[in-house]
Amino acid sequence: IAMAATRSVMRAVRVFEFGGPEVLKLQSDVLVPVPKENQVLIKVHACGVNPVETYIRSGTYARKPALPYTPGSDVAGVIESVGEHVTAFKKGDRVFTLETLSGGYAEYAVAAASRVFPLPDKLDFRQGAAIGVPYFTAYRALFQKGCAKAGESVLVHGASGGVGLAACQIARACGLKVLGTAGTEEGMNVILRNGAHQAFNHRDPNYTERIKECTGPEGVDIIIEMLSNVNLDADLQLLSRAGRVMVVGCRGRIEINPRDTMSKESSIIGVSLFLATEEERRECATAVLDGIEAGWLKPVVGLEYPLEKVAKAHEDIICSSGARGKMVLLL
């Protein structure tokens, strides 16, 4: 009798119900996925942790995956095998992803080949796991949605996290005047080292006044906003004429006065990488890969966790006193 080939198993984080960080269960008997047509299987070395993954896990986000699922989209690792019709990659290639199909908090992940990119030798796997969502989101917020131009000013509100540092690096490389806020001295130093011309501590009660002193009566052209439920009202006071706030992150409701947008004809624009078209994603990828090659795109890795500590990572990304770089899981 022909024996069926036994499929190997792996460690992966599974979510069986929506809820707090405690619903993240590490299991050691999950089947290794098999890549289908136009897909690749990646042996994961590192996986980024993004705030959006905590919103999805809690069940409060607009997109709800079918349960059970494995979170995680930004992985970096090595191609293990490829499905039919995949010609761009082969076993052994170093890669990073923008998203995965099977979930990134796992030892192996399947991804569509079109969402996988070569990871240059100058970056390690930890840095590779810090590229996908942060840099694509920052580029989309600045250029595809924010229409940023060289010579304009940008305020990155919450600049010391993954998306914030990506926005600082990209904006500086593209000729914008870059201002950033962080919640700690260390965070401020990190953003100054990564493209910001000036840094402000958003825990200082007068920090918005300091920003106004810096921008003068003109105000700031673009604000990249990670915590709009806290800052949006103040952001509208900081904008220039025809200025725009790019809403990248939000954790609740806020009251604003719409008249503040009328007096300057300013805009509040939501940003979602999930809504990018194929063409827009390719544009982001080109910009990102060019940045790596040119040397100005250097992901900053912050806190690192083993897979066993995934619940702690989800707690810390929402509750920590101040980010400094991209949070990653190491496998």
Of 314, 319, 298, which Cα lies nearest the Cα of 134? 298
Q: Average the pLDDT over 282-297 and give the result.
A: 96
Average pLDDT of the residues of the chain: 95
- Residue 30 domain-assigned? yes
**Tens digit of pLDDT for each residue in 233-259?**
999 999 999 999 999 999 899 999 999
- Indicate if 21 and 99 belong to the same structural domain: yes
The predicted pLDDT at position 62 comes to: 86
CB distance 331 to 107 below 8 Å:
yes
- Residue 65 domain-assigned? yes
- Residue 190 domain-assigned? yes
Q: Which of 233, 259, 274 is the last residue of a domain?
A: 274
User: Is the backbone peptide bond immediately before 65 cis, with ω within 30 degrees of 0?
Assistant: no
- Indicate if 148 and 264 belong to the same structural domain: yes
- Residue 281 domain-assigned? no
- Indicate if 149 and 270 belong to the same structural domain: yes
Beta strands in 248-322 (DSSP E): 267-270, 301-306
Domain count, the chain: 2
- Environment class of residue 64 by beta-carbon count within 10 Å: exposed (0-12), middle (13-18) or buried (19+)? exposed
- Residue 294 domain-assigned? no
- Residue 19 domain-assigned? yes
CB distance 328 to 47 below 8 Å:
yes
- Residue 308 domain-assigned? yes
**Tens digit of pLDDT for each residue in 164-196?**
999 999 999 999 999 999 999 999 999 999 999
Of 116, 114, 130, which Cα lies nearest the Cα of 43? 116
- Residue 279 domain-assigned? no
Pairing of strands 94-97, 177-182: unpaired
Cα 134 vs. chain centroid, distance in angstroms? Answer: 3
- Indicate if 172 and 146 belong to the same structural domain: yes
Least reliable range by pLDDT among 3-17, 27-41, 82-96, 143-157: 3-17
- Indicate if 33 and 90 belong to the same structural domain: yes
Query: Whole domain around residue 168: which residue ranges?
Result: 134-274
